[in-house]
A and B are shown apart, each in its own frame.
Chain A
């Protein structure tokens, strides 16, 4: 093709190629990091993958002074705490969304959503700190004990995960509501009926995605369990009992700098955590519909 008046192409081509290479390289950084994290976790937990090592790790007793490095109490702690926190946060989140999508008066709904958005900006450590100062005395007087227990941590963690659930679910519900509003009104449904019987069912995938995301948030958090759950390395006995999660365990062990013999089981904790959140993420991806092609796929006019 005759090059006529174009004077740009030749001199800029090498610069463009370099730029594109840099961009492609940066893209690899994310994937490479994830792989590196996995590699490190696996490598450092390697000493455990012997018959003795595994038996030692999969025990219920964490007493480093005696050479016992069982991590099952922490695994159970994570499971228990995430479970209760999620069981509290998810229904609350759905309720908040119902309120914001039509069951509550418009001005109040706007305020509510603004507050939820504000909550995403609250640092986790501030949640933990205020709860530790203000909530624990209440729990102490109600249930006895020190106040740092399963219940307190549940309340704190639920509050933390709530905005995550609400923001995602609200976006989906709003979209569905916009589509279904006229149809529902024409059928003579009240707003409540529309939300309950038309919008919520239409948001099935959205509900699941919000749940998965919220659960991930509960499992992955460190500060709330660390500051509120008591941190006793034992299986939790009841709501007033102290427990320790995998995340808090990692923080504590590294912070107290105990003997490096503990490190292998520490990395094993990390590995469990990593695989769990990996599973959560992949589940979420399978849920998402394939994104529409860039610009549009059905482009005709």
Chain B
């Protein structure tokens, strides 16, 4: 298997920087100038009420907002990829390459009605151009990384949709990991899962943040506080609070935040 791991951005530096980000859909502005630094190989959480713009902000990082008609983005989004700073919205940038390297996991698992293995090997073959045996190896490695291998190794050719909710979500995570991203975006990854499955994912993310930069939109403030090294609170399209690890460990700040938010 030929995929080399790109040079990891050292922890402590930024993996992405957003300045003055504004996003509007059909004239209606959703984000009104967001400034944000995303630390490398750490977890950054975005919280806020529904409608505050969290998902839009997340999608600005892999330019998925552009799939919606009438989307306009302005401001600067710079991401550190392969050790170099890249302007995500530069003219002539290969968007597909950006989206491979900035992986995404959605709120509800969006697997295809294929077997477990095919769900992984298809993108590997299409996007990375791997041959069938290479893709299979990469798929198995990704399943191991997502802590799913033991559970599905005997069911690789069974329909992926037969898996439980938590397993499906981990499969989506494996799929994103298989493409060797540097940044991982997760949009409320545990929102559709039961308590145990959600905890499983949260543990996994806790381990993954040592290798990958995570940006997680969370619907649950306590869960975000457990996981995040940095927490941003969004309110009506603007950043209303930024908290670091130490702030989060102090109980009162959390309580105050809960009141303010919910």
Contact = CB atoms under 8 A, between A and B. Distances in A.
A294 B97 CA distance: 23
B69 interface: yes
A293 B51 CA distance: 19
A298 B30 CA distance: 9
B48 to A, nearest CB: 10
A297 B128 contact: no
B71 interface: yes
A1 B86 contact: yes
Contacts of A2: 81-82, 84
B126 interface: yes
Contacts of A6: 97, 100, 127-129
B26 interface: yes
A16 to B, nearest CB: 11
A300 B30 contact: yes
B180 A300 contact: no
A288 interface: no
A255 interface: no
Contacts, number: 72
B70 to A, nearest CB: 5
B94 A1 contact: yes
A299 B56 contact: yes
Given A6-B97, A6-B129, A8-B126, A297 B70 contact: yes
A297 to B, nearest CB: 5
Interface string B228-250: 00000000010000000000000
Contacts of A8: 126-129
Contacts of B70: 293, 297
B212 to A, nearest CB: 16
Contacts of A296: 68
A36 B249 CA distance: 74
Interface in B39-58: 50-51, 53-56
Contacts of A295: 67-69
B30 A5 contact: no
Interface residues of B, number: 38
A297 B56 CA distance: 12
A3 interface: yes
B257 interface: no
Interface of A: 1-9, 293-301
B65 interface: yes
B25 interface: yes
B227 to A, nearest CB: 20
B98 interface: yes
Contacts of B54: 301
A273 B129 CA distance: 55
Contacts of B180: 5
A295 B56 CA distance: 14
Interface in B88-115: 93-94, 96-98, 100
B150 interface: no
Contacts of B187: 301
Contacts of B84: 2
A295 B64 CA distance: 12
B53 A294 contact: no
19 contacts: A1-B93, A1-B97, A4-B82, A5-B2, A5-B4, A5-B180, A7-B128, A8-B126, A8-B127, A8-B129, A293-B68, A293-B70, A294-B68, A297-B68, A299-B65, A300-B53, A300-B56, A301-B50, A301-B51
A295 B54 CA distance: 18
B3 interface: yes
